[in-house]
Amino acid sequence: MDDPYDFLVIGGGPAGLSSAIYASRSKLDTLVLEGNSLGGQLGNYEDLENYPGMVDINAGDLQESLQEHARKFGADLVKGQVVDLNVDDFIKEVKTKDGNVYRSKSLLIATGADPRKLGVPGEQEFSGRGVSYCATCDADFYVDLEVLVVGNGNSAVEEAIHLTNFASRVTLVVIHEEGKMDAEKLFQEQAYENDKIDFEWNSTLARVEGDQLVERAILKNVRTGKEREFPCDGIFIFVGRVPSTDFLEDSPIELNDSGYVMTDENMQTNIQGVYAAGDVRQKSVRQVITAAGDGATAAVQSQRYLEAEEHWRDNVLATDKQVIVVFWNPTHDESLETLQQLEELGVEEVEDKKLVKIDTYRNELITERYKIKEIPTVLTVEDSQEVGRAVKPTRQELKQLIN
């Protein structure tokens, strides 16, 4: 069986590729698995105006640059849709739809989110036949035609503006009263100034109708409850996204009620060695730049995790000696005194003993795992089990631990 990867990334969007860049540059053997196309949601956009340091960068160019950057440092980028995983052991296993199994010591979930469906009559039937969730993908099908855009957030307004480069008329269906939208002010101003964009206020999409293709939308006024026909050639729906976490439903990885992966500020999930980054995790801001930042953080934390875990396994769990473990800090006088006393007592000269030092500042993982609250704390470990503990030990207590 092949050696496991150090770092396996599920998802090849900005979060996943950014993490791969950081991980592979740190000499971690890194694999990225992407079920669709590398770049994630970048493939759904034309231009980016808010990626720091890059003015009006093309989303496709950024997508290709991220891939090239990850490959430069040696990351493997492989097509594969993950359908199942096992994270119970130190070596995690990931299974793809085509039956391949990949093994890794640490894991990052960066599968992003998919467009949210409205669930109205006709939406599913006409999907791909006039109903779309990606203007960048489908705009050129609507040259000189009239389209609706349902939604009023950043994505909806930005995509409506993009559609005016193709369609003869774009109408935004907004659930709020006139003049109120959820999009940022910049996007609102651009929409108001565009003479090819109209607005249907206080309205929602009630159903989609047509023959072989979309011919009309039935709009409902949320204030009066009245419905009316709106002739159109296409309907673009942008009402938020849902996390791509179906494959995690039977796993021990904690999700919130909306299906997003729960993490701490270090992207750590409730499972040691498993991280989440980007739009798939519970967070307040979902942008390309925050996804990239999440990915970088996850990669750095994974490297620290592997260093701590492998050091512990190699020097404590894998030894046939009784291990004296000292949790200390080099800036802490009492810690230094304890180490000096152990040296004077000759612990390293005892044949069946081994001394291991854990700096609590540098190795938070093992410190937290063994619930070390004060330093110095000295543990004795035998056959991978803690058999003794002394907090701020006296010289006599240290002598008893050794003997």
Query: Which active-site residues does the annotation give?
Result: 134, 137-138
Distance CA 128, CA 90 (A): 43
Q: What are the backbone dihedrals phi and psi of residue 141, each rounded to the nearest 5 degrees, phi first?
A: -80, -10
The reply to whether omega before 376 is within 30° of 0 (cis) is yes
Distance (Å) of CA 231 to CA 19, 178, 362: 46, 21, 64
> What is the spatial distance between Cα 282 and Cα 166, in angstroms, rounded to a whole number?
36
Cα distance between residue 77 and residue 60, in whole Å: 17
Q: Which residues of 121-160 are buried (b: 16+ CB within 10 A; e: fewer)?
A: ebbeebeeebbbbbbbebbeebeeebbbbbbbebbbbbbb
